[in-house]
Amino acid sequence: MKKKKTIGTILFSVINAALGLGVGAAAALMSPALKDIKDKDLGKYLIDIAGVLLLLLLAFFIQIIIHEAGHLVFGLMSGYRFSSFRVMSYMLKMENGRPVFKRLKLSGTAGQCIMIPPDLKDGKLPYRLYNLGGALMNLIASALFLALSLLLRKAGLGYSYLIILAVVGIYVALTNAVPVNTTVPNDGYNALFLGKDPNAVRSFWTQLKINQLSGEGVRVKDMPDEWFDVPEDADLGNYMTAYIAIARESRLMDKGEFGEAKELIDRLLADDVSVPTLQTALLLNDKAFLDLMENGKDADLSALEQKEIAAVLRQMKSFPSVLRTQYAVELLKNGDTGKAQEILDTFDRVAQTYPSQADIESERELMQTAKDRAASV
């Protein structure tokens, strides 16, 4: 899929650059190292700079938590129920009625708050507040930090850090609210495109329901058939609508219907279909697995070596489906059973804290299928 630059993408780049400078300027306010430089030795200067950078990273971490809390609060206000809350790779989710900690890293995301949606009513679903709640909470928090900084103007470092928190909050809010489709579509993009197509709303609801059942141990092959029906009039140029087809591809893989899965992957990778970079990488990862199953040593894996795709897959190197395909590469293309065992050991470690054991069960079966294929050659 070829991506075109949109007004949102250009505006996003401008905001990113401008606010990046703003964050840097705010950080400079905190740094005593930038004052009287001539009177300090290099070691003290570098220590001060390192301290400022650590505090800046802490400000981003705080604002990420605030952002995801915004999705939670405004989601609850809209009738959604809590499913999971993730910051970086650390996730808190409900399992059998109790909170448990899991690990999940997704390329292009610093956090995620996933909710269980209310039932569709006449094909409609409240989605704006849930999607934009994170940015709204960042802006509310930033206003409070700015107000507090005015009260603590003489507090020195504390005053400066409140300014940093406010600027970082505005940065996080705007870079999430301005519609743009990067590795993963941001909140503003989701809110905008959900309103363009009734099928997109259904797709969004389905996505959240699949996540709910998957977290409860239900495999996609065992979920309701109608969730995976792609409407004949579906506009696959709308990412939210295309998700139904992406989910169907995952279901076909889980059911072992590899021929149909490959055909659907090829359709989803066409230029007129809107699939974000993350999903494109995972679709190509599945396609590589299917090619390995069919052609073994002669499988063409060049698509995985594309710069953008390879970068995403490196970031997703511990993702179950990526490990599954790498396992198949070692068995079916390289014939390296020792390396394959190392990948399987890594998979077993990831499985212990992965949030969906249903997905783990599915991937284990696919790995066994690859092992059986290697044994038959």
pLDDT of residue 98: 87
* pLDDT confidence bin for 37, thresholds 50/70/90: low
Around Cβ 230, how many Cβ atoms within 10 Å?
18
DSSP string for 96-120 = TTEEEEEE---TT-SEEEEEEPPPP
Last residue of a domain, one of 216, 244, 274: 274
pLDDT of residue 353: 96
CA distance linking residue 283 with residue 23, whole number of Å: 36
Q: Quick check: is 67 in a domain? A: yes
**Domain span holding position 161:** 7-83+118-188
Residues 26 and 155 in one domain: yes
Q: Which helix (H) or strand (E) holds 347?
A: helix 337-353
CA-atom Rg of the chain in angstroms: 23
pLDDT of residue 155: 61
Do 184 and 109 touch, CB atoms closer than 8 A? Answer: yes
CA distance linking residue 122 with residue 124, whole number of Å: 5
Residues 366 and 306 in one domain: yes
* pLDDT confidence bin for 1, thresholds 50/70/90: very low
Q: Lowest-confidence range among 157-161, 259-263, 309-313?
A: 157-161
- Report how far Cα 312 is from the mean position of its chain's Cα atoms: 11
Residue from 236, 241, 291, 295 nearest 267 by CA: 236
Q: What residue type is 292 in one-letter code?
A: L
Supply φ then ψ for residue 114, to 5 degrees.
-100, 135
Around Cβ 376, how many Cβ atoms within 10 Å?
6
CA distance linking residue 296 with residue 335, whole number of Å: 10
pLDDT of residue 49: 72
Residues 268 and 280 in one domain: no
Residue with tokens 């109608």: 226
pLDDT of residue 16: 65
- Cα diameter, the chain: 76
Q: Quick check: is 303 in a domain? A: yes
Higher pLDDT, 164 or 356: 356
Residues 30 and 49 in one domain: yes
Residue 280, pLDDT > 90, answer: yes
Last residue of a domain, one of 166, 188, 210: 188
Residues 320 and 373 in one domain: yes
Q: Quick check: is 152 in a domain? A: yes
Residues 34 and 49 in one domain: yes
User: Using alpha carbons only, what angle is made at residue 173 by residues 167 and 177, rounded to the nearest 5 degrees?
Assistant: 150
Question: Structurally, how many domains does the chain consist of?
Answer: 3
